[in-house]
């Protein structure tokens, strides 16, 4: 009897110990803008409702460059967070280093294989094992236009390059900044994603996915850089270094006509209580209709102390819950990471994002975003960033940019 009591007491203490440790997740992320924070809050509250508390580790900086630097330092110090917001090839790099945990049990119990698209699984799995939980799918080839400004310009959505230029000229004549831009390398690269895609699916694929030197050094690439130079002539004097969400605010407030940005920008419009079709217009970059350059935010799950693993698995499970997927992505501006989430709760732009994604996937027109780490590992991505930014800022001619692109990519491969 005494032995039984002692064993029971020990078991109770152990499970209590587990319960306490299981209650917390520490999450590293770069979701610090108004719209991003609102979306993150949906996740935080969902976990809190399940008895899991949240230790926040925000690292500001769109696109996550700074977050990845901080992460490296944390892991090197032997102090990895529970979960880390991460993009594409970065996840695979950490998996290669053996730093990530294993979500196979949750994934197989919940049937993730069947509902998460293969394009995402490519980055959520390593060596056949689940290592990350995808929370959304964003895409980068979008325009966010101020509706009143578009109406003044005749109301027609530009369907090709010439019509786009005509719209920008009209915005200029209206006395507003035609393009709301934030001069940061990842933002320049986001625009470049769309410009390159608008010159053809095949060109995008050859240049950014295959890293084909011929495509990288082609006349078409020169044309892409020339278009960047043209677009640069429509930004304001203070664009350099501006955060992307402040650029969104310029469109929201009618100070600028359009922003070229991934659909996280919609999170800012939604946060400002703006309505698609009424206050703003979302459309694909002219010439890219039907094609999608995507990136998916995933929570990479790091190897951590055993007693913290239950909370980590509970977080992964919560992220893939279909109800949560709808609630979160409505606020974030993204499409769900599962194919079985109804689009009912989404606004017109969200419905379009979901439909475009499914169509592009079906038609072989879905491509990983170069700018957001879904086309190449960080070394190549950063090499492309560097050339694109220098050209955009007038430090390189289009001719030289093409040459530099070929050699920079070759050196980084
Ligand atoms: C992207 C990320 C989005 C958004 C954006 C700006 O890389 O996928 O969720 O956060 O950066 O910060």
Which pLDDT does position 12 carry in this prediction?
A: 42
Which pLDDT does position 388 carry in this prediction?
A: 98
Say if residue 9's pLDDT is above 80.
no
Query: Distance of CA 182 to CAs 241, 258, 304, 374, Å?
Result: 6, 12, 37, 21
162-171 pLDDT per residue, tens: 999 999 999 9
Q: Which residue's CA lies nearest to atom 7 of ligand 1? A: 63
CA distance 41 to 43: 5
Atom number in ligand 1 closest to CA 373: 7
Q: Does the C-beta of 88 come closer than 6 Å to ligand 1?
A: no
Q: Which residue's CA lies nearest to atom 6 of ligand 1? A: 62
Q: Does the C-beta of 295 come closer than 6 Å to ligand 1?
A: yes
Say if residue 46's pLDDT is above 90.
yes
**CATH 3.40.190.10 domain residues, the chain:** 25-138+295-352, 140-294+373-412
The number of beta carbons lying within 10 Å of the beta carbon of residue 77 is: 8
375-387 pLDDT per residue, tens: 999 999 999 999 9
Say which CATH class 25-138+295-352 falls into.
Answer: alpha beta
Q: How confident is the model at residue 23 (pLDDT cuts 50, 70, 90)?
A: confident
206-255 pLDDT per residue, tens: 999 999 999 999 999 999 999 999 999 999 999 999 999 999 999 999 99
Which pLDDT does position 74 carry in this prediction?
A: 96
Q: Does the C-beta of 264 come closer than 6 Å to ligand 1?
A: yes
From ligand 1's centre to the CA of 217, what distance in Å? 29
Q: Which residue's CA lies nearest to atom 1 of ligand 1? A: 63
Say if residue 13's pLDDT is above 80.
no
**CATH 3.40.190.10 holds for 140-294+373-412:** yes
Q: How confident is the model at residue 67 (pLDDT cuts 50, 70, 90)?
A: very high
Q: Does the C-beta of 372 come closer than 6 Å to ligand 1?
A: yes
220 with 203: CB under 8 angstroms?
yes
Substitution site in 30, 67, 185, 261 for ligand 1 pocket (most atoms within 8 Å of beta carbon): 30
From ligand 1's centre to the CA of 268, what distance in Å? 12
From ligand 1's centre to the CA of 306, what distance in Å? 31
145-187 pLDDT per residue, tens: 999 999 999 999 999 999 999 999 999 999 999 999 999 999 9
């Amino acid at each position: 009897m005494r032995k039984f009591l002692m064993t029971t007491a020990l078991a109770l203490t152990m499970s209590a110990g587990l319960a306490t440790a299981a209650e917390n997740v520490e999450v590293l992320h770069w979701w610090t803008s108004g719209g991003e924070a609102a979306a993150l809050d949906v996740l935080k509250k969902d976990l809190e409702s399940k008895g899991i508390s949240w230790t926040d580790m925000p690292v500001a900086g769109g696109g996550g460059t700074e977050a990845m630097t901080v992460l490296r330092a944390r892991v090197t110090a032997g102090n990895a967070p529970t979960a880390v917001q991460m993009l594409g090839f970065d996840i695979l790099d950490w998996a290669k280093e053996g730093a990530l945990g294993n979500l196979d049990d949750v994934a197989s119990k919940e049937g993730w294989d069947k509902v998460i698209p293969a394009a995402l699984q490519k980055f959520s799995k390593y060596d056949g094992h689940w290592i990350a939980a995808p929370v959304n799918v964003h895409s980068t080839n979008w325009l966010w236009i101020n509706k009143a400004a578009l109406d003044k310009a005749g109301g027609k959505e530009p369907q090709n390059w010439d019509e786009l230029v005509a719209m920008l000229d009209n915005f200029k004549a209206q006395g507003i900044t035609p393009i709301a831009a934030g001069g940061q390398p990842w933002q320049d690269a986001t625009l470049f994603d769309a410009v390159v895609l608008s010159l053809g699916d095949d060109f995008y694929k050859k240049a950014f996915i295959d890293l084909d030197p011929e495509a990288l050094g082609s006349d078409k690439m020169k044309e892409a850089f020339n278009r960047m130079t043209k677009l640069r002539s429509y930004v304001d004097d203070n664009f350099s270094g501006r955060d992307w969400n402040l650029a969104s605010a310029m469109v929201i407030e009618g100070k600028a006509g359009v922003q070229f940005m991934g659909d996280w920008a919609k999170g800012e419009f939604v946060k400002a209580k703006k309505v698609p079709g009424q206050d703003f217009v979302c459309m694909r970059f002219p010439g890219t209709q039907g094609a999608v350059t995507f990136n998916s935010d995933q929570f990479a799950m790091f190897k951590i102390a055993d007693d913290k693993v239950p909370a980590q698995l509970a977080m992964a499970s919560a992220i893939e819950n279909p109800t949560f997927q709808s609630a979160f992505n409505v606020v974030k501006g993204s499409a769900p990471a599962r194919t079985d989430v109804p689009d009912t709760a989404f606004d017109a732009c969200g419905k379009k994002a979901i439909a475009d994604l499914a169509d592009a996937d079906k038609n072989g027109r879905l491509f990983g975003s170069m700018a957001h780490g879904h086309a190449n590992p960080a070394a190549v991505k950063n090499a492309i960033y560097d050339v694109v930014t220098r050209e955009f800022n007038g430090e390189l001619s289009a001719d030289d940019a093409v040459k530099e692109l070929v050699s920079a990519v070759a050196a980084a491969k």
